[in-house]
Every structure is written in structure tokens, then in C-alpha cells.
Structure 1
Amino acid sequence: MAALTASSLAACAGGGSAQEVTGPAQPGGVLRYGLSQAPTCADPAQAGSNQTIYVTRQIVDSLTDQDPATGELTPWLARSWEVSPDATSFTFRLHEGASFSDGTPVTADAVRASFDAIVNTLGGAKAPLGASYLAGYTGTDVIDGHTARVSFSAPNAQFLQASSTSQLGILAPATSGRSAEERCAGDAIVGSGPFVYTDYQQDRSATLAKRDGYAWGSEVFGHDGEAYLDGIEFTVVPESGVRTGSLASDQLDAVSDALPQDAPQIDAAGGRILTTSNPGVPFGFQPNVTAPVVSDPAVRTALVTAIDRQELVDTVLGPDFVPATGTLAHTTPGYTPLGDVTHDPDRARRVLDDAGWREGPDGIREKDGRPLSFGVTFSAVFAGNQAILELVQQQLRQVGVDLRLDLVSTAEQTARQASHDYDTTYYNSTRADGDILRATFGLDGRNLNARGPIPELDEVLAEQLTTVDAGQRAEALARAQQLVLDNGLWVPTVELSQAIGVSAAVQDLRFEASARLQFFDAWLAER
């Protein structure tokens, strides 16, 4: 396995001075982790938020893994694979010694049951990411006990990278046979990962224990054999100040969403902040193009240049974050910067003037008796969301736009997205593959824009699925990124970065390719 060096950890460390620990990793101990939001479900297939995936990633293995440094796909449960020339079938040869935590072996039948359940039992409502990765799925053929061929009705080049995600992690048949609701309880989830659930309390906590005998880790992992930690205790601590205080007072070992104002207290306690940028679609507004006001393309165009993204970073987030420069984050394979994503309020005013939106007596524009006012539905799934949107609200008002903030729970936001009950919805979506554009904006994806056909965009989103050639895919994805912006389907703001506060005791806590935490190599020095 590839060794992970101290220098690679330093490269993803932000503010604070790390305490250097010499000598080999020490097994044992329970890492206490403070989540900023409650996991939504114990099931990896149904996980969407970062806080949920931090938990579920640890208990499920995937067919492949993705090297966070190079983006290269590497073996995990599948020790080798073949892709058909037309990218419609993928044949995986499985590790013959891997087993689930209930003692049953990881087999081709388990692969089939896992994918069949995502498509037939969970579907797009419960597992939107996994269902989008399996779009066009026609089934899995069991070639022999440890060889599975996954097939699609049309070319699906993105599936190979999707096979590295936790949403397509392989679960035991005992789990795959359960309903979506049953699978949200921790005792229903049987994976082959390096940790297992020992307790799961919805909205409160999740407790994991090391899987004894684990010996089939990813080639990206830094060591062979079992995890170093005896266990992980995840506790939900929504208040940023309480999380930081608990870390500084040695009640927690690591915490999510360590914001700039938290850094001095973490540093003073001898800790540090680990950071990395999320690939995928950056934070932004997705307009419902059937809703009043934002159905006007001129309004959507004006919003892009009315927002001062650098001010958002400088005022709210700090130097570990960067402004969005396109419809993909800069760490995404195939990313292309888009020159139209620049702050130019005068241009925004001209676009609105030309479209007939005139400034009213209160400074808010109006047209045909309707004010230029719309809502944004969002949740606090990222701790900085409300402060970001409050500043965007001020920026938009300067060009005559009234933005109404609608803070809801994560569950309510998901439900309202499914029913298109919003003017705009604000979120980000993480994936280390440019196909996230199809999953987010395609007619066969989530299509939260509620749009109809856009032939040029639809064609290029389909085209990038037809080839496994990286250069050809990148060309198609570059066109798709521009077309998403040109059609006003996304108004980007900032790229999400993971900012994890850790105590001096925490060593080798790693980010995987999608910027989620992987605890396999983590260990605890003396507290």
C-alpha cells in the first residue's frame, strides 16, 4: 500500500501549529468526534451530507478507491476490473478473503443485491446519489462467486469512479433485503468496512468499534491489517463554540466545521485545523426556472455578477476557503474556470435595466408590478451557510434585488427540493468526477431546476458518458460547465472546504478523494 508521509498531512493543515509525534503509530484508544449536524441515516446508500458520510464511510468498503492525490482509481474490494469498449459493462474480480461483519463472505451475489436494492428498493427519493450513479442499470451478472459484471442500457463511463463512493459501497444481503426505513437504524447495516456500528441514536450519536480481522483495505490506505483505533464516538454538537470549547478542554479529540474564529482557541490548546477543498459542484443557488422572478433568464444572469465571492471568503470564511470560479470546484477532475463568474455589479444593473426591471422607491426593482424578490431555501448543514447568505443578501440589495432567507432543517430542504417547493435552493454537492454535472443538472438527474430540454446541454451531458478516455471526457465536461452557467442553472458562490479541528493527540486523520474523512489510518498519541 502507498505510504502516507508526514509532509502529505502538513499539506492539508491550516492554521495552528501541529505537535510533532515521533515513533510508530500506537494502536488503541477511542477517538471522540464532534459532528456539526446530525447524521441523516445510518445507511451509506442513503447518505448525502458530509456529517453523515463521515460516519457511514467507516463501515462500508467500495469496489474501488480513488487516490486523493492523483484521482487514479485503485483496488479495494475489487482487486481488478475490465470495462467494455462501449462503457456499458464493468466486470469486477473480488478479493476472495473479504467478509461482512456478520461473517458472510463478500461475493458477486452481494454486489448484485447491493446495486439492485439501490435501484429497486431505495430509488431516487431515498438514494438520489446512488440512483444517479446507476442510471440505466440493467443488472449485475454473477459470472462466478467472486466475479460480477455490472451492465447498463447505455454508455456509462462515470460508473467506474462511482464505484469508489460510499453510496455504492457493498453491503451484506441481510442489509440489502431491508426497507429504506429499516436501513436507517445502525443495527440494520452490515458492511465489510474497518469499523462496525455498536450503537446509533438518531440526531444524537453514533458509536463505532474496530472490526477484528479486517485485512482487505484499499491500496490508498497507509497500512495493512486492522484500523489502529479501538473505536470512534460521534456526538452531535451543533454549536460551533461548544465544539471548539470541548476540543480545547479535552472532552473531544476532533470536531467538524472549525471556522476562522475557532482557530486561536484550538491553536492555544496545542491543536490544529486540517483542511481540504471539496471537489464537485461548489456552493450556490439552483433556481427553480418555473418559479416567478427567477424564471426570467436575465435575473439569473445578473445574479452571477452581482455577488462578490471574494468578500464572502474574506468576511465569513477565511483563507482556507476560495471563491467559486465556475460550476465545478477547482479540485474536480475536468474543472474549467469560467470568466463570466466575476464580480461586476454595474454589469448586473445593465442586464436588469435591459430586461425591464426598474428601481422602485425602496431601492428594490420591479417589473409589471412585481418586485424583484425571491426566496432561497437552505439548511445549516454547513455552519457558515447563514452568514454567507446574509452577506449575499446585502450584496444583491445593492443592485436592487430582494433576497429572502428561508432556513429549514436538512430533512425539510430535501423534501422541498423533491417537490420543487422553492424559488431557489442553496447547497453544494461533492464528488471527485465531473459527471456530477449530469447528476445535478441533467434531465435524468435531480434536475432541481425543473427545466425542460436544453438540447445542446443534454447532448454534451450524454456525450461525456460514452468514453473512458480522460481527454475526450474533459472536453465534453468543459462545454457542459459553460452551458450550465449560460443557461442560468447555477449561481456559484464559494467552494466548500472541510475544516476539521483536531487535538494534539490525533495523528494521521486523512481525507479521502471526495474530501470526506477516512479514520482507518488515524491513531491517538498520549492525551
Structure 2
Amino acid sequence: MPDFDAPDLVQARHDGHLSRRSFVRCVTAMGISGGATILGKSALAQPATPTRPALSPGATRSINREDYLAAVQRAFPFEPPRARGGHVMQAVAADIATLNPVVAVDGFSAMVNSNLFSTIVKPSVIDGSWAPDLADSWDISSDGTVYTFHLNHDARWHDGVPLTAHDCIFTLDAVLDESGLSAARSDVAEVVKSYQAIDDHTLELVAQRPVADLLGKSVGGLSIVPRHIWASTPYAEWGAASGATGSDPAQVIGSGPFRFGEWVRGDHVSILRNDDYWVAALVPVIDRFTLQVLPDAHAAVQSLMVGETDICSVPVGQYASLRADRPEFTYVIYVNLGWASFTMNGDSERGSFFTDPRVRQAMLYALDRNQIVQHILNGMAVRADGIYPPASYAYAPVRVTTIYNHDPVRARSLLDAAGWIDDGDGVRRKDGVIFRREILYGDAGPFGQQILTYLQQAWGEIGVDVRTMSVPFPVRVERETTGEFEIVLHGWGGVGDDLGILYRCDAFPPHGYNIARICNPEFDRLNDESIFELDPDKRRELLIEQGNVVNDSAHSGLLHFTKTVLAAQPRVRNVHANAYQGIWSHHWMWLAVGG
């Protein structure tokens, strides 16, 4: 990659000498948000705040909050609100699992908690690089190991208590404690050497050595929780505490633009505008935002069509017919960072059928994933070859060493080699045990049901009998965490390029998301190298190689990389969403009167 300083980057991008991808990679490596550079040289020269101490020689400083917000305003078309107040309801097909963001693992909880709580830094909605939240800005030492975050002096919890660097220390302690329930523990422990509060408004984080994406592996997107609320609760009890369940609203205290309203389990969760939000420019326009829980994705779309709700996610297979029927809706479509997959429990301590990689490979070779994409999802997805989605920096389908094309003959041969024999009756047995397993799923909707039916049929054709079991979403998450499943159908999203949290040996739940409980030391070795490799091209090679390690052994059964389709009532204005944060424009949403 060519060497540029920040002003040169702007000119090189404008002149066409840098692709957008290379541009973002350069500015991210320099510790600057790509959003800052679109403002030009004057924005980069402007200090984050006049009172910040001078930088030490060779250190770099991030974009500041004012410049980032200005960049967002320039990057997206916002309609100035012509009315204030009102209630926006989003239909969803599953309930949230928790109001404690440190223990949350599901997307619905993350959506609510991201509006209730603040993070030190968060993904930029412009390009996914790191942008200010609690930190007005941050400095990076010349050797890339010391990060100094300058926290906003006006930040307050919803109960009026000042938010300080000591709350950040408390949250990091909770994440790293072995008795805790945070799935981020393995990531943070791998890269962070130490952290301390320099004063109430300055946090210092020291890396073990220079890390390619220290923020992404540590405090990036980590919601900070109030020490004065949670200090009396043992970390191991955070999942069941009243501040997590919402049973005591006085314990659900955040620092974000919305405050907690109510959570009626299985029905809805509501959050209310925080008029005292410490970023005055981001005080929401609407009064209330609600996630309305409905039985499935089809019911969610129906509620939108009859006007009972305002926003919903549309199953991709239903998009074309919905748009033809309701052209007046606002539609937002984007390729996200997620995928749909089935995970086979490979826990050897449970005597799993799937400890043998040949069995896992057979389950993939049995499937015609092109049929799923083209005939069930109407082409609104991409067949998953390898583990990285198209939006990923490490996406390289031509470099994938094992492509699981539809090959039932090979699937049967692999099962034979693994000792699962069909004696001619179409049922496979090993040591007298029938190959019969159960696949868990949450909300499937009509298209998910079609996929499940196809999976059963395809696996049945190679002698594997799979029964389906529908469970509520929180139950599915709980059983994934405890390992009480055989196969589970689910989706993943927003993980990023480093997938260690899904595949490392030290990422078994609750300290990560390796729910397959398969340990591959070679993946860990390559993942360790990639974490500390600063050269972007060399790091990408390591990511591709480690991706092949887990894909070759069929660690997970990736089906397809997903697109997200959102539909909204025309009266709801300023609905924005993308792969970096999903729906992120709650601050700016407003309701057109009579719309």
C-alpha cells in the first residue's frame, strides 16, 4: 500500500488514485475515521477540543465528535423535522433477551441497548471505521500500543449521576472476570495488557503489542454500564438481575439518547426520548420507540401492511411481491455482514455425532445451496463459499480451498468412511445407533420453513433423519450458550473480519460464540498472527488462510450470505440503515402529520 499523510489521502481519493476500500483501510490504519476526511484538509487540522493536551511526537489523534457528526450530515439525506413527538413501532419476530448490554448476545437486545447505553467508540455509519461516542476523541501513541480516550465531560447517566472513566474500568473488569457472562472476554483478554483511569474523564488502554484493530477487539461497540447500579451484583448474576430483566425499571439506567420505558416479555419493549441527553444535537425527535413482538416474520409484515406498525424487516423472498403491492412504502436494502447457517454441536464431551469432520462435511455436500438462494430466496442472497461475506475485507471466493457443491454421492461416501452405514433401508446406523438428530430454530417464517423442509429432505436422501424443533428465541439462545442442542439453524451478523470470537478454542460460551465447541489449534495460531499483523495485505492473507482452516473442516454449515430488506410506512421519515449498524437513525426519525 502506498504511503500517504491525511491531506494526501483526501487528494488521492479525489483524483482516483485510491479505491474506496484502500482509502478506508489507510485512514483506519492511521487512527482516523474515513468520515473525517470527506470534510477535507481543514477538518483534519481542527483539534478535537481546544483543551486537549498536545500530542507527543509521532502520536496520532482521531476525528472529533463535531467533525464526525458534520460528516454524517453530509453523507446522508436528512429531512429537517416538520413535527416533533409521536411513537414509532418496529415489528420484530422475536423478543429481546436482556437489558444488560454486557451479557447480550442477540441482535434485538443490541438494537434496544444501543439506544439506552453509550459506548466509548462506535462504528461510523459512513464507512464502519471507529467514531466518537463517549470519547470526544482519542490519541494513539507512536508505537501503536497506548490509546488515550478523552471522555465527554457532560456525559450523564439517566438518573443524573456523572459518567466517568471509572464506569469504563468497571465495565472492562466485568467483561474480563472469569465468573462473568460476557462473550467479549476472549477478544479483550487476547489484546489488552492494562487499562486505567487517568482522571474522571481520561481512560488509558494499553495493548500487549500493536494490534491491527485494537478498538474492534476491545472497547469498540462495548456498552458502558453504571458502576453505582451494578457494583453490588456479582458478575455471575448479571443475567438474572432486575436491571437485566427490567423487573425494576429504576435499575435499568443507561446514558444513551433514549431511556427505558417498559418491557412486557413476549409482547413489546419501549424506550423513551431522553430530553437530558448530553449530546444536544442528538436528542431524539420522536417521543417513544417500541419493538413490537409478533409470532413470526410473516405476521410482522402483515402488521406493517395493515398499519399496526411502522417498520419491519422483510423476508427477502417476499420483497418483490410486497413492493409491487405497496410501492408507497420506504424500502432500504443493503448487503449486510451476516449469513444464515446451521451449526452442528461438535462437543466431544457430549458424545456428539458431529465430532468427526467427515460427518460435518457430508451434511454440507448433501445440500444444493444454489437452490436455496435462487428458488427459495428469489436470488436475494449470495451462496456462502468460505466464511467471509461479500462486504468483508477478507472476502475472496476464488481463494476458498473447499467449495461445498451439491454432491450427495460424496456425502454418502464420507458418512460410510465415518462408520455411518446404510444397510439398504435408507437409514444410517453406527454401532446400532440410528443417525437421527434434532435441529432447533426460532422464528423461521414461510421462507425459513421452506429452507427447513429442504434441509430435512436433502439430509434424508443421504440417510440422515433430522427432526425440527421450534423454540422461542430466548430459549434458542440459552440452549446455544449451554450446548444443549444437536443442530441449530440461525443467522449471524456484524461480527467483522476477525472471526476468532466464533472459532477460537478459548471462545466457547459464555466467553465467546464458538457454540459448535470445536477446537482447532491451527486456526488459533493463524488468528493470533493476524491480530498482531499491521500490514493490511499480509493480514488479509492470514485471514484467508484461517478461513480455509475452519471451512475445510466444516466447523459451521454456512448456507448463504444475506441481504437485509427494511420497509417503513411513508409517514416515518429519515429511516437509514446499513451493514455497519443496522437501523441507526433513531435520533433523526420523525413522523409526518397525516402521512
Q: TM-score, normalised by structure 1?
A: 0.84
Q: Which residue does the alignment assign to 1:445?
A: 507
| Counterpart selection for 1:278 from 333, 336, 342 | 336
In structure 2, stretches of 5+ residues that fail to align are: 1-68, 509-513
Deviations 1:451-492 (A, max 9, x none): 34x332221122222244433332221111110112231121
Q: Which residue does the alignment assign to 2:556?
A: 490
State yes or no: 1:343 paired with 2:398.
no
Q: Which residue does the alignment assign to 1:220?
A: none
Query: Per the alignment, do residues 161 and 62 of structure 1 end up closer, same or farther by CA in structure 2, a change over 3 Å counting?
Result: same
Does the 8 A contact of 1:40 with 1:202 survive in 2? no
Does the 8 A contact of 2:333 with 2:566 survive in 1? yes
Q: Which residue does the alignment assign to 2:566?
A: 500
Q: Which residue does the alignment assign to 1:192?
A: 255
Letter in 2 for 1:177: A
State yes or no: 1:264 paired with 2:351.
no
Does the 8 A contact of 1:46 with 1:127 survive in 2? yes
Q: Which residue does the alignment assign to 1:135?
A: 189
CA distance in 2, matches of 1:455, 1:85: 33
Does the 8 A contact of 2:421 with 2:429 survive in 1? yes
CA-based RMSD: 3.2
Query: Per the alignment, do residues 264 and 455 of structure 1 end up closer, same or farther by CA in structure 2, a change over 3 Å counting?
Result: closer
| Counterpart selection for 1:477 from 510, 531, 543 | 543
Tell me the CA shift for residue 504 of structure 1.
Answer: 1.2
CA distance in 1, matches of 2:389, 2:123: 17
Deviations 1:23-54 (A, max 9, x none): 76644322122221111112222222222222
Tell me the CA shift for residue 517 of structure 1.
Answer: 1.9
In structure 1, stretches of 5+ residues that fail to align are: 10-20, 218-223
Q: Which residue does the alignment assign to 1:459?
A: 525
CA distance in 2, matches of 1:86, 1:470: 17
State yes or no: 1:71 paired with 2:71.
no
Name which of structure 1's ranges 273-282 and 320-329 shifts more when overlaid on structure 2: 273-282
Query: Per the alignment, do residues 85 and 475 of structure 1 end up closer, same or farther by CA in structure 2, a change over 3 Å counting?
Result: farther
Q: Secondary structure at the match of 1:313?
A: helix
Does the 8 A contact of 2:339 with 2:560 survive in 1? no
| Counterpart selection for 1:236 from 276, 289, 293 | 293
Deviations 1:206-265 (A, max 9, x none): 221222243538xxxxxx442222221222112334322321222211123445336635
Deviations 1:395-450 (A, max 9, x none): 22233332232333333333333333333333333234222x21111111123333
State yes or no: 1:402 paired with 2:468.
no
CA distance in 2, matches of 1:350, 1:375: 23
CA distance in 2, matches of 1:95, 1:407: 46
Does the 8 A contact of 1:376 with 1:423 survive in 2? yes
Q: Which residue does the alignment assign to 1:296?
A: 356
Q: Which residue does the alignment assign to 1:39?
A: 96
Query: Per the alignment, do residues 472 and 183 of structure 1 end up closer, same or farther by CA in structure 2, a change over 3 Å counting?
Result: farther
CA distance in 1, matches of 2:445, 2:252: 26
Letter in 2 for 1:150: L
Q: Which residue does the alignment assign to 2:39?
A: none
Letter in 2 for 1:491: G
Q: Which residue does the alignment assign to 2:302?
A: 245
Q: TM-score, normalised by structure 2?
A: 0.76
State yes or no: 1:314 paired with 2:371.
no
Query: Per the alignment, do residues 22 and 427 of structure 1 end up closer, same or farther by CA in structure 2, a change over 3 Å counting?
Result: closer
CA distance in 2, matches of 1:355, 1:24: 64
Query: Per the alignment, do residues 56 and 307 of structure 1 end up closer, same or farther by CA in structure 2, a change over 3 Å counting?
Result: same
CA distance in 1, matches of 2:140, 2:445: 37
Q: Which residue does the alignment assign to 2:494?
A: 431
Alignment of 1:313-332 (within 5 A): 313-332=373-392
| Counterpart selection for 1:173 from 217, 222, 227 | 227
Tell me the CA shift for residue 391 of structure 1.
Answer: 1.3
Deviations 1:187-223 (A, max 9, x none): 2232221111122223222221222243538xxxxxx
Query: Per the alignment, do residues 213 and 505 of structure 1 end up closer, same or farther by CA in structure 2, a change over 3 Å counting?
Result: same
Q: Which residue does the alignment assign to 1:416?
A: 479
Does the 8 A contact of 2:304 with 2:310 survive in 1? yes
